C-alpha cells in the first residue's frame, strides 16, 4: 500500500483546516456550553438531568430532519458555487427556507401534543415510580418551551448551511459563539435565579436556549444582508420565494432520501437509547453524561466530515473528478487520525469526567465504562462519518440512505431491541455489542467509497 497517497502537503492541510477549524470551534464551543448546561442542570439532581436528556434526545430527531432537508439541497449549493452560478445558489437558499419552515410547523405541532407520551417511553425501566413521575414532568415542560425555538433553528439552518456550502464557515461560527454566550449567561440567571430573577431550573435552561437561537438568527441575517457583495445569493433572495419547478423537483429528489436518512438515523439512535433505558432508569443519566463528552471530543472528526462535503463537492462542481477523489481520500485519512487522537483523550478522562455530576455512584461508574468503549471505537465512527460525506457530496443520496439509516434499522436497532427484551445482558454489554457493529459499517463504507460511484457532477446540465 502506498501510504503517500493518503497524505497531503502543507497547502492541502492549510486549505482543509481553514474550512474545518471554524466548524470545529463552533461545534466545540457549542458542545462545551452544552457540557456546562448539563453540569448546571445535573446539580439539580438525577431527575432533572434525565428529563432534559430525554427531551433533547427526542428533539434530536427534528434537528437532523431539518439538517437532512437542507443538506440534500446543499449538495447543489456547493456544486453551483464551484461553477460560479449565483442564481443557482440563490434558488437553493430559497428552497431550504421553504422546506425547513414547513417541516418545523409540522414537527412543532406534533411534539407539543405528544410530548408527555414521548418522554414516557423512556421511563419503563427499573426505578422509583416517584422519580419517573418527576422526570416525566420536567422533560415535558422542558420540551414544550424548546418548541418555540424551532422556528429560528429552521431559518438559521438555511442561512448557515448556505454560507458553509459556499466556503464561508467563519461567520456561522461567530454567530453561534455569540448565541452560546447569551445562552450561558441566561442559564446562570434562570436556572438558579441570580440577580433577583426566579429560579426556574430546567425550564430556565429552555428559555435561555430559545432566546439565544433568536439571537443567532439575527446575527446571520444582518451579516448576510449587509455583505451582499461577498454573498451574492442574498441579492434579491426575498423578492419572491419562487424556485423553478424543474429545479424544485431535482432538489426535492435529492433532499427526500437525506431527510428520510437523518430522521430514521436519529430515530434509530433514540430507539437504541430507549432500549438501554428499558434495562434501567439510571442508564438514561449515564448515557447523557457520556454523550456530552462524546459530542465535545468528537467535534474534530465531525467537522472534518462536513469539510469533505464542502471541499470535494466544490471540486466536483468544477468538473475535476480525479482531484475530487484524491482530496476525498486524503481527507478521510486525516479524519481517522483525528478520531484516534480524540478517542485516546476520551479514554484518559473517562474516570474523571463523571465525577463532575451530582448523581449516584452507580451512574458515574456506568458512564465511565461507556466513555471507555466510545473512545476505543471513535476511529471507526470517524471513518464511517467521512465515508458518509464522501458518498453524499456527489449526490448519491439514495446510496447514502442505504449506507446510514438502513444499516441502523436493519442491523443495529433489531439487535439492541432483542438484547433488551429477550436477554438479561447488562446495559454496558448491550452497548459494546451494538456500538461494535460500526466496524461492519466501516467495511461497507470502504467498499462504496473505493468504487468511485459517488464522484460525479450533478449541476453541469441543470438549469
Q: How confident is the model at residue 72 (pLDDT cuts 50, 70, 90)?
A: confident
**How far is residue 190's CA from residue 202's CA, in Å, rounded to a whole number?**
9
Task: Give residue 26's pLDDT.
Answer: 65
Task: Give residue 457's pLDDT.
Answer: 66
Q: State the Cα torsion 102-103-104-105 to the nearest 10°.
A: 50
pLDDT tens figures, 4-58: 777 877 788 888 788 788 777 766 766 666 666 667 777 777 788 788 888 887 8
- Range in 1-10, 214-223, 339-348 the model is least confident about: 1-10
Task: Give residue 436's pLDDT.
Answer: 93
pLDDT tens figures, 271-329: 888 888 777 767 877 887 888 888 888 888 888 877 887 788 778 777 778 888 888 88
- Range in 23-37, 80-94, 183-197 the model is least confident about: 23-37
Q: Please, what's the largest Cα pairwise distance for the chain?
A: 66
Share of the chain above pLDDT 70, in %: 94
**Are 147 and 164 in contact, with CB atoms under 8 Å apart?**
no
The pLDDT mean for the chain works out to 84
Which candidate, 281, 225, 264, places its Cα nearest to that of 400? 264
Task: Give residue 345's pLDDT.
Answer: 95
Task: Give residue 242's pLDDT.
Answer: 84
Task: Give residue 358's pLDDT.
Answer: 75
Q: With a cut of 70, say whether residue 69 has pLDDT above it.
A: yes
Q: With a cut of 80, say whether residue 463 has pLDDT above it.
A: no
Cβ-based neighbours of 404, under 8 Å, separated by 6 or more:
261, 265, 388
Q: How confident is the model at residue 446 (pLDDT cuts 50, 70, 90)?
A: confident
Long-range interactions of 17-23: CB distance < 8 A, separation 24+? 19/167, 19/169, 19/307, 19/310, 19/311, 20/169, 20/303, 20/304, 20/306, 20/307, 21/303, 22/169, 22/170, 22/172, 22/173, 23/164, 23/169, 23/173, 23/299, 23/302, 23/303, 23/306, 23/307
Share of the chain above pLDDT 90, in %: 22
- Range in 34-43, 70-79, 177-186, 280-289 the model is least confident about: 34-43
Q: With a cut of 60, say whether residue 462 has pLDDT above it.
A: no
Task: Give residue 382's pLDDT.
Answer: 92
Task: Give residue 352's pLDDT.
Answer: 92
Task: Give residue 254's pLDDT.
Answer: 73
Q: Quote the DSSP letter at residue 357.
A: S
In the chain, where the domains are located: 7-451
Query: What is the helix, strand, coil percentage profile of the chain, to 5?
Result: 85, 0, 15
> C-alpha cell of 295?
459530542
**How far is residue 212's CA from residue 146's CA, in Å, rounded to a whole number?**
11
**Are 210 and 59 in contact, with CB atoms under 8 Å apart?**
no
**How far is residue 20's CA from residue 239's CA, in Å, rounded to a whole number?**
33
pLDDT tens figures, 351-381: 999 988 877 888 899 999 999 999 999 999 9
13 vs 417, residue with greater confidence: 417
**How far is residue 6's CA from residue 134's CA, in Å, rounded to a whole number?**
53
Amino acid at each position: 500500500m502506498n501510504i503517500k497517497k493518503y497524505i497531503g502537503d502543507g497547502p492541502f492541510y492549510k486549505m482543509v483546516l481553514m474550512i474545518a477549524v471554524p466548524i470545529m470551534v463552533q461545534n466545540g464551543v457549542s458542545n462545551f456550553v452544552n457540557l456546562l448546561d448539563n453540569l448546571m442542570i445535573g446539580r439539580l439532581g438525577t431527575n432533572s438531568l434525565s428529563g432534559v436528556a430525554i427531551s433533547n434526545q427526542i428533539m434530536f430527531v427534528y434537528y437532523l430532519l431539518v439538517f437532512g432537508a437542507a443538506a440534500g439541497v446543499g449538495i447543489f449549493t456547493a456544486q453551483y458555487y464551484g461553477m460560479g452560478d449565483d442564481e443557482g445558489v440563490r434558488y437553493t437558499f430559497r428552497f431550504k427556507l421553504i422546506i425547513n419552515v414547513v417541516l418545523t410547523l409540522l414537527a412543532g405541532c406534533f411534539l407539543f401534543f405528544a410530548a408527555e407520551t414521548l418522554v414516557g417511553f423512556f421511563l419503563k425501566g427499573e426505578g422509583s415510580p416517584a422519580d419517573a413521575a418527576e422526570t416525566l414532568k420536567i422533560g415535558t415542560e422542558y420540551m414544550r418551551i424548546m418548541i418555540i425555538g424551532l422556528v429560528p433553528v429552521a431559518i438559521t439552518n438555511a442561512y448557515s448551511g448556505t454560507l458553509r456550502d459556499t466556503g464561508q464557515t467563519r461567520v456561522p461560527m461567530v454567530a453561534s459563539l455569540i448565541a452560546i454566550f447569551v445562552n450561558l449567561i441566561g442559564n446562570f440567571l434562570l436556572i438558579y435565579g441570580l440577580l433577583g430573577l426566579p429560579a426556574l431550573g430546567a425550564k430556565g435552561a429552555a428559555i435561555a436556549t430559545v432566546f439565544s437561537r433568536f439571537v443567532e438568527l439575527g446575527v446571520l441575517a444582518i451579516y448576510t444582508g449587509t455583505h451582499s457583495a461577498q454573498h451574492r445569493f442574498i441579492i434579491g433572495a426575498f423578492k419572491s420565494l419562487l424556485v423553478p419547478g424543474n429545479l424544485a423537483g431535482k432538489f426535492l429528489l435529492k433532499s427526500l432520501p437525506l431527510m428520510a436518512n437523518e430522521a430514521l438515523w436519529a430515530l434509530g439512535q433514540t430507539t437504541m437509547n430507549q432500549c438501554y433505558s428499558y434495562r434501567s432508569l439510571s442508564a438514561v443519566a449515564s448515557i447523557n453524561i457520556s454523550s456530552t463528552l462524546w459530542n465535545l471530543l468528537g467535534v474534530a472528526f465531525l467537522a472534518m466530515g462536513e469539510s469533505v462535503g464542502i471541499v470535494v463537492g466544490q471540486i466536483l462542481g468544477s468538473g475535476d473528478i480525479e482531484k475530487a477523489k484524491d482530496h476525498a481520500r486524503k481527507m478521510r485519512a486525516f479524519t481517522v487520525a483525528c478520531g484516534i487522537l480524540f478517542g485516546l483523550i476520551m479514554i484518559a478522562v473517562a474516570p474523571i469526567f463523571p465525577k463532575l455530576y451530582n448523581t449516584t455512584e452507580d451512574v458515574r461508574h456506568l458512564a465511565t465504562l461507556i466513555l471507555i468503549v466510545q473512545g476505543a471505537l471513535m476511529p471507526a465512527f470517524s471513518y464511517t462519518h467521512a465515508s458518509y460525506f464522501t458518498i453524499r457530496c456527489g449526490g448519491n443520496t439514495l446510496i447514502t440512505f442505504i449506507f446510514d439509516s438502513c444499516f441502523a434499522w436493519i442491523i443495529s436497532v433489531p439487535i439492541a431491541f432483542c438484547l433488551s427484551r429477550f436477554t438479561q445482558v447488562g446495559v454496558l454489554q448491550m452497548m459494546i455489542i451494538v456500538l461494535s457493529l460500526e466496524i461492519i459499517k466501516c467495511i461497507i463504507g470502504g467498499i462504496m467509497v473505493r468504487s468511485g460511484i459517488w464522484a460525479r457532477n450533478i449541476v453541469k446540465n441543470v438549469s
